[in-house]
Amino acid sequence: MPIGANTLWNNESKNFNFKALKIGAKVDVRYDFTITTYMNNTEVWARLFVPDYSKSPIGYVSTLKYQYSYDMSYNQTIYIDAQRIKTLGGAIQFRADNESNIVLNGIYIAVC
């Protein structure tokens, strides 16, 4: 953990807490999750949502060909490049284009 940081994840609000990081910090995050799809060819996307911040990182995760429960991991790099992201933190959001259920199993964070 960086000096002065108790945690980078707030379990109550389900948000990242970047207040203890310096502007310019690089944060690598791995999300481990299970997705259950209910239709074939379901696309999955992930983003770190920061309100009123146009640079919220978003990424394509996968197209899942069959109806099934998949255990997956997704890596994302977040740059603390503005006071807004440092102050507000962010929330992880997953999006699928078809009906599905996503359960977040774990988050691993590394700061450079």
C-alpha dihedral, 45 to 52 to 5 to 102, nearest 10°:
-20
Residues 6+ apart with CB under 8 A from 12: none
Locate the domains of the chain by residue range: 21-111
pLDDT for residue 9: 87
Tokens 């890596």 belong to: 75
E strand or H helix that includes residue 83: helix 83-88
* pTM, entire model: 0.87
Other beta carbons within 10 angstroms of residue 5's beta carbon come to 13
pLDDT tens digits for the chain (112 residues)?
556 567 898 888 889 999 889 999 999 999 999 999 999 999 999 999 988 777 788 999 999 999 999 999 999 999 999 898 998 899 999 999 999 999 999 999 999 8
- CA–CA dist 66, 64 (Å, integer): 6
